[in-house]
Amino acid sequence: MNKYPVGELRPSQIMFSYGIGAIADLPNLAALVMGLDEWRQEGTVEIAEERLLLAVQKQLGQQVQKLLSLPIPPEENNDSLLGVPVAPFPTWMVCPRCKLLAPVSSEIFQLNNRRNRSSELHYHHPNCPKSRKYPPKVIPVRFMVACEKGHLDDFPWRYFVHGGTSDCNGSLRLLETNVSGSVTDILVCCDECGAKRPLAQAFGIPGKQNMPKCRGRHPHLRSFDDDCNQQMKTLLLGASNSWFSLNLSALSIPTTAGKLEELIRENWVALKNAQTLDNLELLLQTLFSMGQLQSLMKYPSAEIWATLEKIRQNTSENDPSNLKDPEWQAFIAVEQEVNIGKDWHLVPTTPPPDFRDKLEKVILVQKLREVRALMGFTRIQSPGDFSDTGDVPDDFKARLSRQPPKWVPAMEVRGEGIFIQFNETALQTWEQQPLIRKHYNKVKQAHKNWLNQRNPDLVDKIPCPSMRYLLLHSFAHALMRQFALECGYNAASLRERIYAQMATETPEKKDAQAGVLIYTAAPDSEGTLGGLVYLGESQRLNYHLNQAFEYIRICASDPLCSDHNPDGDGSIHWAACHACLFSPETSCERGNKYLDRTLLIPTLAQDLEKQKYAFFQ
């Protein structure tokens, strides 16, 4: 198969928008990003983050050896084919002149490749009866099918137009009876037998009757699953629910053990493979002779080995299934300024004066490093529908490769943020109010109803978030919208990281978590510029909290927004909408679900009980 460069994508796009199994809509083609089996490791760099690697291994298997950056072709070689492999998908194309519908495998359409002009790579129809002089460019058909178990397939054109399996192999055409482009105005026709069918019958309730069962196809792996009991669902090319990235992320948390441990962590990729003291001494001699790791020359090899083993032991003792616990412990332990290495600088500050009874601690995170790993993807349902930690049932998670992967794509970003810890006593008092408990029963019922509408099998598998999660989530969204007005970053650049673990039934209740990290990060080595941290100082944060609460007190969509309840309308939020609380998808852990501004402050809700929900009265 010939290989040609077809376009460019940024690393962040491959991680979050056009990753493995996703379709990138290029100027003349629609390209499907292929699985890891077809990727090359040339041009990649190993990324060190042991906590995240252990979490990846727990989900994907111990055979995963490393996290690798995305391949980047060298600038001096513009003809290099090093990069991310793709294949045309959907494989059916339509001629805009004669309306002929055919797959590229039929060889009716031919590839036109122009060297050094990848943006103009396209298929054309050389024998089009309506344009003999200049063969017209053909375009990818804009319909495909998918299912909730991560499968994707070409639309079954012959099956659909003939109402089932048929021996007819006549030419198909896609005719539009109106200029609107609506599916109600599109007909699929067979030239041989004259069969016709409106494409509208492939959607909604008629689609359940007219479409076949899913074939279990994974085109990015060039394979099929043995069996799939799901019904095919027709999607438009470019539909936002055709691919959802499944990521795990972890903040790099250094320790204050000393300069040697800091140096070893910074050079972990080079040192981690040493299994004995003799191996380490040989490795160090080789690296020193090449002019590398000169900062370690003054330390005895035995001391370096002891520190290396200590780091391994401490890392293995952490539970890899919960990446947020060590981060929470690192934040709440800060009592004075901590500046370790180039990626961890915390400065505690006093809580805002108007909220000291509700907020216990505020930390200015002047430097942070986050590593994100691509674990897989879902279709139809986003990972946020399942949990905020990426814990997706295996049946709904699509694989990255045919064989268990030995590495996964990852990227590291550096930035800044503000950590806000809630007062646990005030929060527990609020949670134990009879009205809040009564409301939580309604939340659990709405959660159950929402799952029943989508997949009843998931009702007992996906737990309902706690009331403290709804409160912290709504708080984070309100504050992100306010910060975006003045911090210098747009709303899509801000992200939330919510720590909302409930306390166990022990007298100490030390494992309770109630905090929010609002941060921004960029993939370059310098990170960000301090505009967000600046807003976290006591008086400024006090002003922005008051402004945020005043902004959401009255919504432009009130009273519809303030009185909203998810009673069968396909949502799972309460008093929240695009005018008051919703944030860009890149910012939110749960896809704008489980939000309710009545938990923060009194609103215009006509239900008087809702006026008493507010944590910040």
Query: What does the DSSP assignment read for 215-232?
Result: --EETTTTEE-S---PBP
Helix then strand count (H, E) for the chain reads 14, 25
Report the distance separating Cα 488 and Cα 16, nearest Å: 23
For the chain, list residues with pLDDT below 50. Answer: 505-507
Cβ count within 10 A of residue 598: 25
Contacts of 361 (CB under 8 A, 6+ apart): 331, 332, 348, 351, 419, 420, 421
Encoded tokens for 403: 């064989």
pLDDT of residue 390: 60
Side chain identity at 190, as an amino acid letter? C
Compute CA distances 279 → 80, 284, 302, 308, whole Å: 37, 9, 12, 13
- Helices 301-317 and 259-266 sit at what angle, rounded to 10 degrees? 70
599, containing H or E segment:
none
pLDDT tens track for 6-54: 778 888 888 888 999 999 988 888 999 999 999 988 888 889 888 899 8
In 169-227 the beta strands, taken as DSSP E runs, fall at: 172-176, 186-190, 196-198, 217-218, 223-224
The pair phi, psi for residue 241, each rounded to 5°, is -95, 10
Q: pTM value? A: 0.85
Side chain identity at 229, as an amino acid letter? N
Contacts of 16 (CB under 8 A, 6+ apart): 245, 247, 586
How distant is the alpha carbon of residue 199 from its chain centre? 32
Report the distance separating Cα 138 and Cα 161, nearest Å: 21
